[in-house]
Chains A and B, each alone.
Chain A
């Protein structure tokens, strides 16, 4: 099959990028795109099962805070704390999921909206632990230490972070892709299409939904941990509802029906955002960004992915909301 070849070529191209003495700023953008893709892919996964969440950024925040607290207060090494960040997010997803995923449509969106806000207020309220509205500063950089052999501290250099996120991207996206292609994935799509029909087919709707939700949240938690350690800083501001909206925008602009949608969409929207910075829009960047967004949504309802496929853009799936 030609597919693995293209992927390997892509991987090599991506790995070579830092070698061209790319400016740290450009790497920074790529890292942002990478993290955005993963979170957006998670959002899409939840959407596929028929649930629109407005609080995904809060999940990222749970991962970020859990791992940052472990790194800074307990001195845990990054790799473990990142894992814990993902697990914490997944655990909370499971606990809440069974209760909350039963609700559908707008109401589910509202609940996730409310949850995200509660999370933010909770962070500010529990000041002694979370640092309140100022957040956690001085989060240490990851360190790879093979005892006795060498110690490599990521430090302030962006390149190791870049490689890490590329690694995470390939591994996690690969796993998510495989999952979606498998029987599990088909069940998830079935649930998204029509609850009643799926249950008549013997699919345990609740279990599958929670599984998808937990997976998406695990990924989001990992990414949150990564970002907190990359920025060396995190605060409640980074996890507002507006942030959640950005992931939806990425997914929708890319094309929600396709797995590649989040990838293309994130890339496009970050490119637009940064491109506008180069065009000198400065602080008014969100304006053309918003215009671009509205235009794409109005004239390309299937998302950018529909440009590739020769399938007429039939708009988004008729989800019974």
Chain B
């Protein structure tokens, strides 16, 4: 009887093993270069993940339709392999593992701060280039030489917003923070503590909450008596729509200062009039302050997919552009050290115009992409672009706020 029990299991193993042997990935055609994305296509961040994926896919199609890239005199097509990180760090790490070890990818684009941080543990030892969207400062360091960031982090975004407010909306003096208790939160508190005094604002309230909460009555009960004029919130947190609604019901008359990427459904979840006056960094593509390359990108994306891309769509597209140009400029198809040097020294022609990687003084390593930030306000039921902060000004503000 024991025998009977074990033999089927044994047989199962053998059968499965055989199937696996025959289904292992075949050698890839020599005319392709591979790029991998580990994006949250399903789960809570599915919309931003999908946007990013489509942005990347659109870029790949445009480049391939134009004949591909030319590296060392030879033509190559880009193959983009997208894995679903399901918004879970463990799955992101699995996805990255699969991309590198099963698909042979040497450049991975990733979305999401925890995923970004954890994936470095796989990409750095394997000398794989990692780029993407992440919010905190620690993603870049001299200890992770193959990691580059293609988005601007909260350590720059928040000071930029606060400085802009101090120059353009001086009545917003008392600043509160209601933020999901994640890795970014600690940085946000530190950033605001440094920034507010330097621009004539007062940082009066800090509330860190469970990211899954939808009920903010306790937090708002504590915060309202402190009379904030502006509340910094994480636009990407799931509960933020209800938070905005509930805060208005509790009598909050000030503005919200949006950190992070705004999901498209937020105005519906929060109530459009509740969001009036919110300050964000999401591009308004109808505005002339937005660079032409970005506006064209939005138009093409919209006509192809019938939906608006967001910042993650931009980053996905940008990652592919940078990948393509890095390979072309370095003249190598799989030498990540050569790619690394190219990234560190060259300029790239992208939808944002000419960009490069820098800010070595601040991060210890010059791997931060220098793109402008667009100041946008939510007004009359829609986004209104009201200003642009160019990379030089960003560096200047960073030095001012973070300098000794």
Considering the chains assembled together, what is the distance between the CA atoms of A124 and B5 in angstroms? 44
Cβ B211 vs Cβ A232 within 8 A: no
CB-defined interface of B79-108 with A at 8 Å, one 1/0 digit per residue? Answer: 000001010111001100110011000000
Q: Mark B11-39, 1 if CB is under 8 A from A, else 0.
A: 01110110011011100000000000000
Say yes or no: B24 contacts A21, CB within 8 Å: yes
Tell me, yes or no, whether A189 is within 8 Å of chain B by CB.
no
> Are A231's CB and B90's CB within 8 A?
yes
Supposing A13-B10, A232-B93 touch, asked if A24 and B183 sit within 8 A by C-beta, the answer is no
Which residue of A26, A156, A260 is within 8 Å of B125 (Cβ)? Answer: A156
Q: Which residues of B contact A (CB under 8 A)?
A: 1-10, 12-14, 16-17, 20-21, 23-25, 41-43, 46, 84, 86, 88-90, 93-94, 97-98, 101-102, 114, 117-118, 121-122, 125-126, 181-183, 210-211
**Complex A-B, nearest 5 residue pairs according to Cβ-Cβ distance, in ascending order:** A283-B42, A6-B6, A26-B20, A134-B183, A3-B2
Q: Is the interface of A mostly helix, strand, loop or mixed?
A: helix
Does A263 lie within 8 Å of B9, measured CB to CB? yes
Say yes or no for A315: interface residue by CB 8 A criterion.
no
Residue from B5, B14, B93, B101 in contact with A260 in the complex, judged by beta carbons closer than 8 Å: B5
| Separation of A22 and B114 alpha carbons in the complex (Å) | 30
By the criterion of a CB under 8 Å from any partner CB, how many residues of chain A are at the interface?
41
Contact of A308 among B5, B24, B93 (CB under 8 A): B5
Of A83-91, A212-220, A233-241, the one touching chain B: A233-241
B118 close to A137 (CB less than 8 A): yes
* Chain B contact surface mostly: helix
Assuming the A-B contacts A9-B10, A13-B14, A25-B102, are A138 and B181 also in contact, with contact meaning beta carbons closer than 8 angstroms in the complex? Answer: no
Task: Answer whether A283 and B41 are a contact pair too, CB < 8 Å, given A13-B14, A25-B98.
Answer: yes
Could you say which residues of chain B place their CB within 8 Å of the CB of A235?
Answer: 89-90, 114
CB-defined interface of A225-251 with B at 8 Å, one 1/0 digit per residue?
000000111010110000000000000
User: Chain A contacts of B97 at CB under 8 A?
Assistant: 24, 28, 156
Q: Which residues of B contact A283 (CB under 8 A)?
A: 41-43, 46, 84, 86
Chain A residues lying within 8 Å of B17, measured Cβ to Cβ, are 17, 20, 22, 26
A155 to B43, CA, bound (A): 30
Among A6, A135, A282, residue most surrounded by chain B Cβ atoms (within 10 Å): A6
Contacts of A13 in B (CB 8 A): 10, 13-14
Task: Give A155-183 as 1s and 0s: 1 = Cβ < 8 Å from B's Cβ atoms.
Answer: 11000000000000000000000000000
Listed A/B pairs (20) with beta-carbon separation below 8 Å: A2-B2, A3-B2, A13-B14, A20-B21, A22-B21, A24-B97, A24-B98, A26-B17, A26-B20, A124-B210, A127-B181, A134-B182, A137-B89, A137-B121, A156-B122, A156-B126, A233-B90, A283-B86, A308-B8, A309-B1
Q: Which residue of A lies closest to B212 (CB)?
A: A133
Tell me if A14 and B20 are in contact (CB < 8 A): no
A124-B210, A233-B90, A283-B42 known; A23-B102 Cβ under 8 A? yes
Contacts of A237 in B (CB 8 A): 88
Residue of B nearest to A131 (CB): B183
Min CB distance A233 to B, Å, is 5
Whether A7 and B6, one on each chain, are in contact in the complex, defined by CB atoms closer than 8 angstroms, is yes
A contact residues around B8 at 8 Å (CB): 308
Q: Chain B residues near A308 (CB, 8 Å)?
A: 4-5, 8
Q: How far is the CA of A156 from the CA of B122 in the complex (A)?
A: 7
Chain A residues, CB < 8 A from B90: 231, 233, 235, 238
For A135, the chain B residues whose CB sits under 8 A away are 89, 114
Chain B residue numbers with a CB within 8 Å of A9 are: 10
Is B114 touching A134 in the complex (CB atoms < 8 A)? yes
- What residues on B are CB-neighbors of A155 within 8 Å? 125
Contact A14-B102, Cβ < 8 Å, known A2-B3, A137-B117:
no
Which residues of the other chain, A, contact B1 by a CB distance below 8 angstroms? 309
Is A132 part of the binding interface, using a Cβ–Cβ cutoff of 8 Å? yes
Nearest A residue to B16 via CB reads A26
CB distance from B84 to the nearest CB of A (A): 7
